[in-house]
Amino acid sequence: SELIKPYLGSKYKLTEVPKSLIFRMSKHGGPVNEIQWCPVREQSHMLLSASMDKTVKVWDAVDTGCCLKTYSCHSCAVRAARWSSCGRRILSGGFDSMLHLTDVETGKQVFSSKNEFRISALKFHPTESNIFICGGFSPEVKAWDIRTSKVLRAYKAAVQQTLDILFLPEGREFLTSTDAVSRDSADRTIIAWDFQSAAKISNQIFHERYTCPSLTLHPKESMFVAQTNGNYMALFSAQRPYRINKKKRYEGHKVEGFAVGCAFAPDGTLLVTGSSDGKVFFYNYHTARIISTLSAHKEACASAIFHPVLPSLLATCDWAGEIKIWQ
């Protein structure tokens, strides 16, 4: 992409808060659950989207705003989709309990497998590109190896559903957020796992009585943020014992039961989140204050993510099936 080239070699420019709408991309016939920029810098004009309309789409979200490809390999809502680290394949999982790894160019399935449960979260291992973790409507999350099409390991907890999965740096440990909130305790809301041994490291991380629909890692510091159904984001250490920072709470947006995603700007200075009222909120990471808000959508805004190379570009998606690009 011509727009991206000047940024590839340049020193990083400070993130700016986007204000103007560049593209309105609406070819999805149902809520958009997940969007992700391609992780390969030269291909980072491409945006991936997964929707309740059973499709996965790839967009040129920098130059033209056009839909490049539509993949219709699922028979039910697609809840999660992720780029492979090489940018040539897309992993998707849905409510049909199917896992598909699709070749971006040909649209053919490189790997397909029936899972035992409906899928709501997928993450590739950060250093082992053939391994991914899948979670959903089950007490287990599973690590799969694409080369063998087999489950490597199962991680079992007394929960009904996994809402999100987050690998910690290097991938030796990962976190799952779950629907387990009982009246008397809030253990198991966020669980830390040892990737190799499948042992639970801790399930006493978050003690408030709210579920956490999404988790995100700080790009520079050893910290992570959990989006909560208490209409705030909580900050934690990404190192054992994963303590919560009680002095910082990012609040003002609304979650209200939607799977609202949150993300950091690539330089780590800003934290951005969608909101159930359609707005996008930008927080100063260090002070937890709201810097700005954007009236982005009429329906609930499920995700807002900064471009990995162009610091002033933001993609947002909503419950009406619309994706927007802001600058």
Q: What are the tokens at 51?
A: 């929707």
pLDDT reported for residue 10: 47
Task: Give the pLDDT mean for 53-77.
Answer: 95
Tens digit of pLDDT for each residue in 148-169?
Answer: 999 999 999 888 899 999 999 9
The length of the chain, given as a count of residues: 327
Q: Which CATH class is domain 5-326?
A: mainly beta
Range of lowest pLDDT (17-26, 210-219, 268-277, 315-324) = 17-26
How far apart, in whole angstroms, are the C-alpha atoms of residue 282 and residue 294? 8
The closest of 56, 66, 68 to 28, measured between CA atoms, is 56
Contact 46, 56 (CB under 8 A): no
Position 164, amino acid = D
Three-state DSSP state, 280: strand
Output the pLDDT for position 11. Answer: 47
- Is the pLDDT confidence value at 74 over 90? yes
b/e map of 3-20 (b: 16 or more CB within 10 Å)? ebeebeeeeeeebebbee
The predicted structure's pLDDT at residue 26: 86
Residue 34's DSSP bridge partners are 50
Segment 106-118 mean pLDDT: 93
Least confident window among 13-22, 55-64, 311-320: 13-22
Q: Is the pLDDT of residue 197 over 50?
A: yes
Measure the CA–CA gap between 327 and 321, rounded to whole angstroms.
Answer: 20
Beta bridge partners of 134: 122, 142
Q: Going along 168-261, which residue ranges are E strands?
A: 173-178, 190-194, 200-202, 214-217, 223-228, 232-237, 244-251
DSSP track, 105-164: TT--EEEEEE-SS-EEEEEE-SS-TTEEEEEESSSEEEEEETTTTEEEEEEE-S-S-EEE
- The rounded percent of the chain whose pLDDT value lies above 70 is 93
The reply to whether the predicted model has a pTM over 0.85 is: yes
On the 0-12 / 13-18 / 19+ scale of CB atoms within 10 A, 110 is: middle
pLDDT score, position 209? 84
Q: Read off the pLDDT of each residue in 84-104 and give the average, rounded to a whole number.
A: 96
Calculate mean pLDDT across residues 301-324: 93
What are the extents of the domains in the chain?
A: 5-326
Judged against a pLDDT cut of 60, whether residue 184 lies above it is answered with no
Q: Cβ neighbours of residue 40 under 8 Å, at least 6 residues apart?
A: 83, 85, 86, 87
Tokens 């995100």, residue located: 216
Whether the pLDDT of residue 42 is over 60: the answer is yes
Taking the C-alpha atoms of residue 190 and residue 205, their distance in angstroms, rounded to an integer, is 6
* Least confident range of 132-146, 202-216, 222-236: 202-216
Mean pLDDT of the chain: 91
In 229-321 the beta strands, taken as DSSP E runs, fall at 232-237, 244-251, 262-264, 270-274, 279-284, 290-295, 301-306, 314-318
pLDDT in the model for residue 181: 61
For residues 209 and 187, is the Cβ–Cβ distance under 8 A?
no
- Reading the block at residue 66, the tokens are 């056009």
